[in-house]
Structure 1
Amino acid sequence: MPQLNPNPWFAILIFSWIIFLTVIPTKIMNHIQLNDPALVDAKEHKKDSWNWPW
């Protein structure tokens, strides 16, 4: 059964994973984020308790 011979298919699998793990992440990580998160002011918020009317 020739389909059980792993020699050509194993090499194709290894080379494709090498391409996926080296080329594609570098292309993705080179993109610039368009919406940089803005820093929130560190001012103190009001912490008054709510006085219920009843």
Structure 2
Amino acid sequence: MPQLNPTPWFLVLLFSWMVLLVIIPPKVMHHHFTGDPTHHSAKEQTQTPWNWPWH
């Protein structure tokens, strides 16, 4: 049964892990998100209570 021969599958496993752990993380870490919350002003929002009658 050739599918039980681990030699080609082990290389596929090693190359796929190499791609996932070496090549992809730097590409993801260099991505800049446009919605960075640190650039917003620190102005505190005023909250007003609701004046609705509850019938």
> What interval of TM-score do these two structures reach, taking the shorter chain for normalisation?
0.5 to 0.7
Q: Percent identity among equivalent residues?
A: 50
Deviation at 1:40, TM superposition (A): 3.2
Match of residue 40, structure 1, among 39, 42, 46: 42
Instruction: Give the match for residue 25 of structure 1.
Output: 25
Aligned residues: 53
Letter in 1 for 2:15: F
TM (normalized to structure 1)?
0.62
Unaligned runs of at least 5 residues, structure 2: 45-55
Alignment RMSD = 2.6
Q: Post-superposition, which runs of at least 4 consecutive aligned residues in structure 1 deviate over 2 A?
A: 38-42
**Of the two, which has the highest radius of gyration?**
1
TM (normalized to structure 2)?
0.62
Structure with bigger helix share is: 2
Unaligned runs of at least 5 residues, structure 1: 43-54
